[in-house]
Amino acid sequence: MAKAILGEDNLARKTESATINTTSLPEHWQDLPGLVNDPLIDEDAQVKILECVDATGSAPLCELMALLPGHPQPAKAIIRLVQLGILDIEPGLIDAQSLLHRRLDRSRIVDGNGGGDGEAPTPPSDGGTLHRLPVSRSQPEVFFANWTDRGVFRQEPALRQHGIYLALYAHKAYSGWSGCLVDRLVNSNHLLRHGFPDLVIAAVDRNNLLNETQTRVAERQLARAVQKDGVLELANPSLPSGGHVDPAAFVQADRFVREVVGTVRTAGLAFTGPKRVPASKIPEAGPVSTPLEAGTKHFSLHACGVHATAQVQSDKWVVQTGSQVRNELLPSAGSGVAQQRQELLHDGSLMPNGSHLLLTRDVAFGTASSAARFVVGTGYNAKIWRPVPQQPASAGLSY
């Protein structure tokens, strides 16, 4: 058998090679893994053909035939590699210019030992279990329609789950959430309280990973995105309170909203204006000891193991950089405080510092009591703040 494959019967070579010592080969050398077991193709022909094909990714039939000058049937030998599933040839009439390339679907390659007759491989069994890996990241799907056409939302089954929405009115936007977006957007006229909407945008998680509490967080984050926009103003009477979730759940909801905003911006529907600092925030300031503007009122808070300072500017209570914030948060502080702390921890404005948290920038509040609840994490009122006497201006030196 070895002599027949090496060329004694002139199928592979016209003359037997005198340089090959067949006694040095294994007894069943033709059964070596990776070697074609066919009398038309010896090991040299296989290596030459595949080397030429791999050099450029494909090769014409005439070029491959030229590699086998002493072969009595070079075209048949090369086509045999096609029949065995090792090479593919372009469809159509086979001629000298037909291109051949490696077959990428290795499941169709016939085993060298059992496939010499060209039979197809045994099909795999349908038994066993197909495993699906769980998706760990939310993926938003965003829909929009004119207010007068909002009935089309009924046509989308995905909108029958919880999600967030944004109603656009000229230069204003209203952020909301619902446990069933279709019912909220189609069967309710609550958006007319703020005017006649031009457009309604709805977003749901395709993978349904966000729970309802995270969706309320997403509603608040969407409202904050409106506040940060350079053109839009928030139509909501107040910032949505959000919900209290762990840091990982917050990051997931925040990422979801960022992707929704990016999608809407790319489509040119909203969030296309220049960025500005929202009115609810003051730009990062220096240390507490930095001189303050004339006429600014100073306050200090000592309670629950923390110390904070604040100043009143333009009717805003501004808790200053370097102020301590109590770690513990009680329900009496309200869900809005929990949500704001999560946001500030997320962007680095609030950082853990020993037994308490530390503000790394100034943060503004609408009232003294809301500033107090944020700092001490419970329902204290405005009286907890104590005025700090201002140092009188120097009258100059006397002689």
Task: Give the model's pLDDT for residue 391.
Answer: 59
Task: Give the model's pLDDT for residue 315.
Answer: 82
Task: List, as one string, the DSSP characters of 240-279.
Answer: -------HHHHHHHHHHHHHHHHHHHHTTSS--SPP---T
Beta sheet of 233-234, edge-to-edge order: 140-146, 199-205, 163-169, 172-178, 233-234
Residue ranges of the domains in the chain? 2-108, 140-266, 297-387
Dist. CA 221–CA 91, nearest whole Å = 56
Dist. CA 333–CA 378, nearest whole Å = 4
- pTM assigned to the model: 0.52
Task: Give the model's pLDDT for residue 289.
Answer: 33
Structure tokens that stand for 297 in this block = 């009122």
> At a CB cut-off of 8 Å and minimum separation 6, what does 80 contact?
36, 38, 40, 41
Task: Give the model's pLDDT for residue 119.
Answer: 55
Dist. CA 222–CA 62, nearest whole Å = 65
Task: Give the model's pLDDT for residue 278.
Answer: 44
Structure tokens that stand for 368 in this block = 């003294």
Query: Which is nearest to 329 in space by CA: 301, 306, 300, 311?
Result: 306
- Half-sphere exposure at residue 292, Cβ-oriented, CA atoms within 13 angstroms: 20
CATH number of 2-108: 1.10.10.10
Task: Give the model's pLDDT for residue 392.
Answer: 54
Dist. CA 238–CA 235, nearest whole Å = 8
The secondary structure of 44-94, three-state, reads HHHHHHHHHHHHHCCEEHHHHHHCCCCCCCHHHHHHHHHHCCCEEECCCCC
Burial 150-167 (b: 16+ CB within 10 A, else e): beebeeeebbebbbbbbb
Dist. CA 145–CA 150, nearest whole Å = 6
- Half-sphere exposure at residue 332, Cβ-oriented, CA atoms within 13 angstroms: 11
Query: Which is nearest to 67 in space by CA: 85, 41, 91?
Result: 41
Residue 354 · residue 271 · CB < 8 Å: no
Dist. CA 159–CA 36, nearest whole Å = 57
Task: Give the model's pLDDT for residue 395.
Answer: 42
Task: Give the model's pLDDT for residue 121.
Answer: 58
Handedness of CA 330, 333, 335, 338 (dihedral sign): negative
Question: Which residue ranges of the chain lie beneath pLDDT 50?
Answer: 1-23, 25, 29, 107-109, 111-117, 277-295, 393-399
Show the CA angle centred on residue 226, arms to residues 221 and 228, nearest 5°: 95
Mind listing the pLDDT tens digit for each residue in 341-369?
A: 888 887 778 888 888 999 988 998 888 88
Task: Give the model's pLDDT for residue 338.
Answer: 82
Quote the DSSP letter at residue 301. Answer: E
User: Residues, the chain, total?
Assistant: 399
Task: Give the model's pLDDT for residue 275.
Answer: 55
Distance between start and end Cα atoms, the chain: 124
